[in-house]
Amino acid sequence: MDRIYSAQRHIYDLTRKYYLFGRDALIDELDLRRGDTVLEIGCGTGRNLIRAARAWPQGRFYGLDISEAMLTTARARTASAGLSDRITLAQGDAARFDAASLFGLPRFDRVVFSYTLSMIPPWRDALAQGLAVTAPAGRMAVVDFDTQHDWPALWRRPFLAWLKRFEVTPRHTLREELTRLAQCHGRHSQTETLWKGYACKALVR
């Protein structure tokens, strides 16, 4: 990840706003009460955490990323926004991290994956880990690329090829895995297809 983003991190947010759709809706739907905690797994530059902290001043926010280069940018932007006291950042592997050691918390009221599962090779393990650190009454929210199934081939093939250049792979069985995990943990999963299969949005309660 550092190899990919050591240079891109400087223009990441400027370019991604044109095709990472659904992130702001996910943040708007966090529905936090005073003292609620939010963990973003794969927080990147901290863009989502900063926006969420501003939208939900009653919450406490935590971010995990495997890329130290991205975290360098996230720390600088968090400090510049005056939110270092409400956003805590740590480096770790999404598929196997110790939340209590990194953040001093074993569980979170909201756990968020925003366009990260498509970049994590052991994405099923990351989902399982995310649900494991979701509080019993909490929720895990996901938004990520879908398979573009309802888009014409003239769009779908070059777009998917372009994503692959950045080691991004939409997960064809994301819905099935969410359903399986939810059932195993006595929870309910709800998925939504956005923009004719451009993206997938999901919630595990």
pLDDT for the residue numbered 166: 83
What averages of pLDDT result for each successive group of 10 residues across the chain (205 residues)? 50 49 92 98 95 97 95 95 98 98 98 96 98 98 92 88 90 96 96 90 96
**CATH assignment of the domain containing 83:** 3.40.50.150
Residue of 55, 68, 61, 158 whose CA lies nearest to 112: 61
Could you give the CA distance from residue 96 to residue 73 in angstroms, rounded to a whole number? 23
Nearest to 60 by CA among 42, 34, 92, 78: 34
Q: Are 27 and 3 contacting, i.e. CB atoms less than 8 angstroms apart?
A: no
pLDDT of residue 155: 86
* pLDDT confidence of residue 86: 97
Residue 3: what pLDDT?
Answer: 54
Domain that holds residue 168: 2-204
User: How crowded is residue 41: how many other Cβ atoms within 10 Å of its Cβ?
Assistant: 29
C-alpha 82/C-alpha 138 separation (Å) is: 27
pLDDT value at residue 6: 52
Strands 37-41 and 60-65: parallel
Q: Please state the domain count of the chain.
A: 1
Inter-axis angle of helices 47-55 and 68-80, to 10 degrees? 30
